[in-house]
Amino acid sequence: MKREAKRTGVFTRRALLIGGAQIAAFGALAAKLYQVQIVEGSRYATLAETNRISARLIAPPRGRLLDRFGEPVAGNKLNWRALLIAEQTTDVAATLDNFSAIVPLADHERARVERELRRHRRFIPVTLREFLSWEDMARIEVNAPDLPGILVDVGTTRLYPFGPALAHIVGYVAPPNDADVAEDTMFALPGMRVGRAGVEKYHDLNLRGRAGAVQLEVNATGRVIRELDRQEGTPGQDITLTIDSALQQSVLARLGDESASAVVMDARNGEVLAMATNPSFDPSLFNSGVSQAQWQEWTRNRRAPLINKAASGLYAPGSTFKMAVALAGLESKAITPFDTVSCPGYLDFGDRRFHCWSKYGHGSLDLRGGLKNSCDVFFYEVARRTGIDKIAAMANRLGLGVKLDIELPGTRTGFIPTRGWRIKQGKAWNIGDTIVSGIGQGYMQLTPLSLATYTARLATGRAVQPHLTRSIGGILQPGSKAEDWPSLGIPERELHAVRDGMFAVVNDPSGTAPLARLPMPNVQMAGKTGSVQVRNVTREQRENGYKSDNLPWEFRPHALFVCFAPFDAPRYAVALVVEHGNAGAAAAAPVARDIMMDVLTRDPASRRDAPAARVAEAKT
């Protein structure tokens, strides 16, 4: 009995110990369940939801650039791409290796991805490959279990429907660099682009927009099951330009294979209707990255396709500058419209002889005759009487050698010399410098854009500024009306005297540009030729029958022409430079005539909608 009682006691103690242990275990489990479900329930619910739902920021659609009739000149198209989210994979290197086995990555692409992974936070997607084909996307989706953190996403990429035709105006976009990301973290998002040139750069802030977000349901391997929610964010603003894209193409077609630039402006308000530079480049190449071979091809081309020659090319204005000299002379009372100068073919001053382009001379000429015949001796004398500082002041008032507030980064001011500038260099300004400035040679350097502005101001007497933006986000910008621009303060009689000389250049049978006469009833054009030497011509060469036609292309003079029309009610101004075209009357004037005829026929400044013919072409 004692032995049985002892055995029963031992069993009872064991049962109590086991029962106590079970109670303690179940108590701990209950406490843990309480901790998990009650105390930290919301936290674990969030974690569970996070494992099920992948939330990502998405780049906003970039705003479009439209021409004056609403035709897109820079838009967006869908772009399928592969992204990597580093926090969703435990081994980034292995994931990249697996991806490379499916969609090969070049060494420089792999280096870029690794650099961006170090630069960005782990939750920010990094682009592995853009512009995926359907085959690439299928291979990625099939191998999704072996590619943790990698997903296929759709975004947008920049589209330039007119390609090289508008490249120098529209500009281009490119992937952001470290400095861009430091400025705005939104640039870390896949698909974001930064305006690097042209209007894309100038209006970059307006075009960017604000980031959106997307929520995706994923399974345990990270495969996307469905899209739960998408907020596209705020698209960038659409910007309407003053450009007529059809006119731009027409101007380029007329330039042909010449290395040339042309600007067409509404003379009344400064709207730039066309700004053509030839040769050009394909701006879409910068979106995905320019190859080294392509870059070398561009930079080695002596015709410089990357340079916007219309806004950044610098040329001596030559005889197109003579109207500024004439107005300076009239304002300073150095001459009157009826004063005459005798031209024997040269002007001797001191021990130096300054030649006229006509070695036989022009005889006795007044202002109208001086402009009509483009007599160098006449303007040598006007410049000598007027002085360089008064000439420079008038040139600046006419838009030459001053900053033009146009929406193109990199636009150059050009240069008009003064006596003070020369003295600051520690050198003396002499009368010979003034004399050669009278025909737009010497130290002067101007852009075709400034010459077009100059012509528009001569035609209207108003201080118009060239501009490319009509509206931003549908809001019309100031400057679209003639009355928005102040008067130049030049007496109308003096402007009329100069315009009359320009009229004679084109319409008088003995003018220097009869080839520029418009074959249009009741419409007449005024203009001025210019030929600019790019190398000195010695007296010996002149005496031996020097002809620039026989020189290599790069040594021939530039050919220039500026004009406005209609003469009795100026509306359009054109400036044209044909590099090494030799003679303005032969190489530039006929081209400018054809451009002006096209402009007058289209009359884009008077239209609110695209011409019917153009709409029909677009539908076709």
Please give the positions annotated as active site.
319
How far from chain centre, in Å, is Cα 262? 15
Beta bridge partners of 462: 487
Extended beta strands in 212-321, E state? 212-218, 224-231, 239-241, 260-266, 272-278
First to last CA, the chain: 114
Q: Which amino acid is at 169?
A: I
Which tokens hold the place of 533? 């030497």
CA-nearest of 468, 444, 432 to 352 is 432
Beta-carbon contacts of 334 under 8 Å, excluding residues fewer than 6 positions away, are: 328, 382, 385, 386, 390
Under DSSP, the state recorded for 554 is: G
Rounded Cα distance between 311 and 234, Å, is: 33
Under DSSP, the state recorded for 555 is: G
Which tokens hold the place of 562? 């500026």
Beta bridge partners of 155: 79
Beta bridge partners of 65: 74, 239
Tell me if 561 sits within 8 A of 576, measured CB to CB. Answer: yes
Rounded Cα distance between 36 and 139, Å, is: 41
Q: Which amino acid is at 223?
A: R
How far from chain centre, in Å, is Cα 126? 29
CA-nearest of 330, 335, 369 to 491 is 330
Q: Is 500 helix (H, G, I), strand (E, B) or coil?
A: helix
Which tokens hold the place of 251? 């101007």
Rounded Cα distance between 369 and 275, Å, is: 32
Under DSSP, the state recorded for 212 is: E
Q: Which amino acid is at 329?
A: G
Which tokens hold the place of 365? 């000429």
Neighbours of 456 (CB within 10 A): 33
Q: What phi and psi, each to the nearest 5 degrees, are found at residue 515?
A: -70, -15
Beta-carbon contacts of 356 under 8 Å, excluding residues fewer than 6 positions away, are: 343, 345, 346, 347, 362, 375, 376, 377
154: left (phi over 0), alpha (psi -120 to 50) or beta: beta
Rounded Cα distance between 454 and 460, Å, is: 10
Rounded Cα distance between 598 and 592, Å, is: 10
